[in-house]
Amino acid sequence: MSTELRLSGHEILKRAEELDALDAILPFDRRDQLAELLTDEDVATLKHLASEGMGANTLRALASDLGYLEAWCSVATGAPLPWPAPESLLLKFVAHHLWNPAERENNPDHGMPEDVAIALRTKGLLRSVGPHAPATVRRRLTSWSILTRWRGLNGSFTAPSLKSALRLAVRASARPRRRKSTRAVTGDVLAKLLATCAGERMVDLRDRALLLTAFASGGRRRSEVADLRVEDLVDEEPVHADPRNSVSPLVPCLTICLGRTKTTTADDRVHVVLIGRPVVALKQWLAAAKIDTGPVFRRIDQWGNIDRRALTPQSVNLILKTRCSQAGLDRKVFSAHGLRSGYLTEAANRGVPLQEAMQQSLHKSVTQAASYYSNAERKNGRAARLIM
């Protein structure tokens, strides 16, 4: 083996060891791959972002996007990713990832060159055989812009030519936007899922508490469910089942402190409220599992032993899909995000005011949250019932 190769291998190993410091954020099975793709400066930037308190999911996405950008640039230009990236490179990135399939049939040079695509597939970084999803391209450009700013540099991400190219390319790619979950987990669907975990096995207690907590707390994201800790739970005084009736039964209440979420910062100190049945299910699980500190939702092996480690966000998604299969539902059309869209859809169906629902779901965008309400209003309204 040549000295150059030995040095390269040594550098990769050293970089992998540096990435070990981020093992709570970066998946270990991708550590070696990222060590090959990232530069020392990239790793230093990621470690700095981690020390600054950037959310784990955001940092994980940045690392993944950065690894892809480094690999793409190396293959497409034969050179490392430059900082800051020139406007021409940003335009090339858009052209390689958003293109018109019909035009590609007549012009092989349109879109990503075949040799670039083959090289990226060989590295396991490219799975799409057509143009990329516009949301993926926009996310990677956003990650690129964030990392550029954190290096103290200015990029060309607001250049009119890039905005125009992106808009035209999205229109040309004609790729329909995919929902994160085809079907929303509304109240009727949730009832079917809960019926599959009505037993008293540890896995039933956990999954029942997980589904009820995730839905009732505003449709929490799977990462937020996985990250939930006992220390985040605060018992409150019981409240009336019907707040308008002072003689209605008292039911248990607690608050969940979420800290930093996808749409908030750690300084926001946001929290949501759990009332009634979800609280009972959550406390039953914690008591049976003898969990009084650390992660709330944990792995359970095939013999019913409870791990000290928290579930991963992927595990939360798998639990929902498994329960869908057990309930006789098509697991392909449901995902954990369906709990989030399902919460707002159910709130709309029950006449809960939008602003009140958003206080629980913590949606920042009124437009996004209102889309669920608009859909419910259309289905329940008279406009679509002129001919029955």
Residue 26 has pLDDT above 60, yes or no: no
**pLDDT of amino acid 235:** 94
Average pLDDT over residues 308-313: 89
Alpha-carbon distances, residue 365 vs 38, 110, 181, 358 (angstroms): 34, 36, 19, 9
Average pLDDT over residues 215-222: 92
Instruction: Annotate the chain with three-state secondary structure.
Output: CCHHHHHHHHHHHHHHHHHHHHCCCCCHHHHHHHHHHCCHHHHHHHHHHHHCCCCHHHHHHHHHHHHHHHHHHHHHHCCCCCCCCCHHHHHHHHHHHCCCHHHHHHCCCCCCCHHHHHHHHHCCCCCCCCCCCHHHHHHHHHHHHHHHHHCCCCCCCCCHHHHHHHHHHHHHHCCCCCCCCCCCCCHHHHHHHHHCCCCCCHHHHHHHHHHHHHHHCCCCCHHHHHHCEHHHEEEEEEEECCCCCCCCCEEEEEEEEEECCCCCCHHHCEEEEEECHHHHHHHHHHHHHCCCCCECCEEECCCCCEEEEECCHHHHHHHHHHHHHHCCCCHHHCCCHHHHHHHHHHHHHCCCCHHHHHHHHCCCCHHHHHHHHHHHHHHHCCHHHCCC
Residue 8 has pLDDT above 70, yes or no: no
Instruction: Band the pLDDT of 208: cuts 50, 70, 90.
Output: very high
For the chain, what are the domain ranges?
3-173, 187-383
Residue 260 has pLDDT above 60, yes or no: no
pLDDT tens profile 54-77: 777 778 788 889 999 999 999 999
Range from 32-41, 50-59, 247-256, 340-349 that averages highest in pLDDT: 247-256
**pLDDT of amino acid 368:** 72
Instruction: Band the pLDDT of 12: cuts 50, 70, 90.
Output: low
Give the predicted TM-score (pTM) of the model: 0.60
pLDDT tens profile 363-372: 877 777 777 7
pLDDT tens profile 330-345: 999 999 989 998 999 8
Average pLDDT over residues 348-353: 86
**pLDDT of amino acid 9:** 58
Average pLDDT over residues 10-34: 58
Residue 192 has pLDDT above 80, yes or no: yes
Assign domain 187-383 to its CATH architecture: Orthogonal Bundle (1.10)
**pLDDT of amino acid 303:** 87
Instruction: Band the pLDDT of 306: cuts 50, 70, 90.
Output: very high
**pLDDT of amino acid 374:** 66
